[in-house]
Structure 1
Amino acid sequence: MVIKQTGDIAPQRLSAEQLSCEFSDIAPLLDASAAAAAASRCHYCYDAPCVNACPTQIDIPSFIRKISNGNLKGAAVDILSANPLGGMCSRVCPTEILCEGACVRNHQDAKPVTIGALQRHATDWAMARGEALFKRAGETGRHVAVVGAGPAGLACAHRLALAGHNVTIYDAHEKAGGLNEYGIAAYKTVDDFAQREVEWLCSVGGIEIKHSVALGRDVDLDALRKLHDAVFLAIGLTGVRALAMEGEDLSGVMNAVDFIEQVRAANDFGTVPVGRRVVVIGGGNTAVDAAVQSRKLGATSVTMVYRRGVESMTATWAERDFAQTNGVTLVTHARPVRLIGKDGVVTSVEFERTSGDGTRERFVVEVDMVLKAIGQTLVPVGIERELLTLDGSRIAVDANGQTSLPDVWAGGDCAATGGIDLTVQAVQDGKIAAASIDAQFARTAVKAA
């Protein structure tokens, strides 16, 4: 959805120089001396809690020790063998609640080892040199369809390709990457990193990507099952929850995910229209990314409003702090009541706030742009109802990612795996499904013999 330039929504809020500064890398790459110093703080714990906190189970002490010894290739192998999207995860993982949050250093000097930065140091080094870290097994003659080129689909494809199977990825977008390409704030992944990572991942061989092919529109599940030995569904959550209230159709009101995609797709950030007074409704990472990018594009005031307290927000404390450091005002315990407009254009939002004693008050925030970030939903186009959970919100799978169909697996945000909705968890889902598919191929081969 491209928002109309009505009211006070316009591009070119800032100069090209200002925008270049605002959207520069927020966590620049460590140099060799800084990486050595950071690595020296690791205790190389035998029963490392950081490993247990990582959904992909990267051997963190091992790769950090290799960095300290100057063996960056070995460190990259440790990381990417466990997480083929380790470069992206080093940029976007909420390390403060995962590996770094579990670091024993927190109990000593309240400062964890900077695991994410060290992970990026090693993976960026390897990718910049085009290192051939993995060798593909011999051809098995098996062919798997992967629907969706996001983190789960790419991770699954990579594991299957390494095992010698051929993989065709079908993706509805013009570029692969899923949320890594379209749904993450531009300041987190600069220099077209998402595409460079896809190119590296596919360089192992045996992976073909077909773009602009959507399940239920251009291809159906039955056809994929007939053409391939197995199918892995990694279609993500492409629907957006509505506020379901008066004024939602006013000009100036849009989904935060669409706004983020506009920013990500822009060759020139100055062409992206943004309001002077922006309200973002929601409390997750999408809300934070939309709010911060609004400020970075030149919005004068940005207010992020969440219906519960900060303890209930899915955005981590680090994300909240980053938003507030960048000039975003956070309002909690308030829910939107109605969107108010004039001549078809949004002009304000009325909220109701609940205080600690249960009393309620109404207040109005003047706006010219409202971004909705209250969650995404599964759009089960092309998927049989019997594959879904009882409430229809996700694809039902077992512990290995297998659906009720013997040759269909699913993973990532679209599947009810019980994991957290993060890039790193989606990667793990893809790995688990790939292992299950490969094991089933091995069983059927034995039976045939």
Structure 2
Amino acid sequence: MSTSPQPDVRSGRLSTEAYAKAFGDATPRLTPSQALLEAERCLYCFDAPCATACPTSIDVPSFIKRIGDGNLRGSARTILDSNPLGGMCARVCPTENLCEAVCVRNTQEDRPVAIGRLQRFAVDALMESDKPQIFTRAPATGKKIAVVGAGPAGLACAYTLARQGHNVVVFDARPKAGGLNEYGLASYKTPDDFAQAEVQWLLDIGGIEIRKGWKLETTEQFETLRNNYDALFLGMGLANTHQLGVAGETLTGVQDAIQFIATLRQTEDLSTLPIGRRVVVIGGGMTAVDAAVQSKLLGAEEVHMVYRRGVETMSASVAEQEWAQTNGVTIHHWLAPAELLGSAGHVTGVKFARQALVNGKPAPTGDTVTLEADMVLKAIGQTLGNPLLAHVGLTLQGGRIATDAEGQTNLSGVWAGGDCRAGGLDLTVEAVEHGKQSALAIHAQLMGK
């Protein structure tokens, strides 16, 4: 297949109305009648498998029963007491793989209770009420904790500590707090600036200060935090993106998918955002799906999502893969990038080597496939990529920070959680649990409990 010498990348492919429709709420909230009917499907299991499957251990039957009773405020309290970012998690958590996967209704009706949508219904009702902050701070302890990173783990840690009466300073490199909730998720999952509304709700508890434009880069910074604060929590996420390691990677039109999503999320007028007519997304996770679907929604005519292994090992859930295909994305398997082709310095296509399993590992078969592309988005995972962490003495495991079950590192007074912590699932809900559990451990240690 020959590649086009004239890349077609431009903005304004759609009408204003089309952009608004394309990037509207992908899963609109339930109506009160729908929520009531769905809540009545719950069997309120005594030994509820859904609560066990939730990384933050939300008492699912309890919050659903309160919806059925018309007590939305009580329902939201149950959710947020376990998961302070329950509103965002209700929108982006892969419930089909967690709580809903073990719902007993699956065996009776072949359809689980819509736990995620019910969770959103309750939390949204609280957030839009006259008094959305239902928790109060404990008496001041006089203790001060530093948190690096204002993503889900850092925010959950800060909020949990603030509720216990501690003062928290959150340091973050970005102009806005929220981490991947603000910069890394598809906009159709979090419309109406919900990420910032949730951040504001968290800050309303009091005792939390966010210092923006601050990046951990030197040993002196690290030691200053350890010396000036009673504890330190690291929740900086993963800053660097894996490289393809093939020729042509520096061509214009090739970029990281996470940066593409961040730019899109911060662009108010989507008609000004250029998109290629033909887009190739390399990767098999949820970031790849978000990048691919949003490329299609911006007006790309052809969008290909390409993964080097089979469908069974893709980290994107089945629901996410189906969502991509529903939106016109073509998914390819067993293709590994071999070369990025270009003309006049701009990418024009990607040459892939077909793969097959050999002794349990993918290996090239000798066949190649070339896909034309005006834009190529890389979504092949991220790395911590901060040599400072090893220099200050932190033990690393697989390039991430090693901790115990409560998030404590090998350094006294230092905890870590979220994507930067070794051994995780790279899920927002898990990052929240990391932050919460570390906060409780910090509180117990500081108060001598």
Which category of TM-score, normalised to the shorter sequence, fits these structures? over 0.9
User: Which of the residues 421, 424, 442 maps onto 1:419?
Assistant: 424
Which residue is 1:111 aligned to? 111
Which residue is 2:396 aligned to? 389
Which residue is 2:440 aligned to? 435
**Structure 2: gaps spanning 5 or more residues:** 1-5
Which residue is 2:56 aligned to? 56
TM-score normalised according to structure 2 size:
0.95
Which residue is 1:376 aligned to? 382
2:442 is matched by which residue type in structure 1? Answer: I
Which residue is 1:3 aligned to? none
Which residue is 2:250 aligned to? 249
Write the deviation string for residues 153-175 of structure 1: whole angstroms up to 9, x where unpaired: 00000110000000000000000
The 2-side partners of 1:321 and 1:390 are apart by 34
2:215 is matched by which residue type in structure 1? Answer: A
**Mean Cα deviation higher: 327-336 or 345-354:** 345-354
Structure 2 residue 230 is matched with structure 1 residue 229 = yes
The 1-side partners of 2:343 and 2:104 are apart by 56
The 1-side partners of 2:218 and 2:19 are apart by 38
Aligned positions, number = 437
The 1-side partners of 2:200 and 2:75 are apart by 20
Confirm or deny: 8 A CA contact 1:168 1:208 kept in the other structure. Answer: yes
1:273 is matched by which residue type in structure 2? Answer: P
Deviation at 1:179, TM superposition (A): 0.1
The 2-side partners of 1:169 and 1:426 are apart by 16
The 1-side partners of 2:121 and 2:406 are apart by 32
The 2-side partners of 1:47 and 1:167 are apart by 36
**Structure 1: gaps spanning 5 or more residues:** 1-5
Confirm or deny: 8 A CA contact 2:309 2:355 kept in the other structure. Answer: no
Q: Structure 1 pair 331/44, CA: closer, same or farther in 2 (3 Å)?
A: same
The 2-side partners of 1:389 and 1:173 are apart by 25
Q: 1:36-435 alignment to 2 at 5 Å?
A: 36-129=36-129, 130-216=131-217, 220-354=221-355, 359-385=365-391, 386-391=393-398, 393-416=399-422, 418-435=423-440
Confirm or deny: 8 A CA contact 1:234 1:410 kept in the other structure. Answer: yes
Confirm or deny: 8 A CA contact 2:9 2:274 kept in the other structure. Answer: yes
The 1-side partners of 2:135 and 2:181 are apart by 23
Write the deviation string for residues 130-171 of structure 1: whole angstroms up to 9, x where unpaired: 323101100000000000000000000011000000000000
Confirm or deny: 8 A CA contact 1:136 1:204 kept in the other structure. Answer: yes
Confirm or deny: 8 A CA contact 1:213 1:219 kept in the other structure. Answer: no
Confirm or deny: 8 A CA contact 1:216 1:381 kept in the other structure. Answer: no
Secondary structure at the counterpart of residue 37 of structure 1: helix
Secondary structure at the counterpart of residue 96 of structure 1: helix
Secondary structure at the counterpart of residue 108 of structure 1: helix
Confirm or deny: 8 A CA contact 1:146 1:233 kept in the other structure. Answer: yes
The 1-side partners of 2:45 and 2:388 are apart by 48
Deviation at 1:218, TM superposition (A): 11
* Identity within the alignment, %: 55
Secondary structure at the counterpart of residue 383 of structure 1: helix
Deviation at 1:276, TM superposition (A): 0.2
Confirm or deny: 8 A CA contact 2:352 2:370 kept in the other structure. Answer: yes
2:243 is matched by which residue type in structure 1? Answer: A
Confirm or deny: 8 A CA contact 2:275 2:295 kept in the other structure. Answer: yes
The 1-side partners of 2:73 and 2:436 are apart by 22
Confirm or deny: 8 A CA contact 1:76 1:126 kept in the other structure. Answer: yes
Secondary structure at the counterpart of residue 387 of structure 1: coil
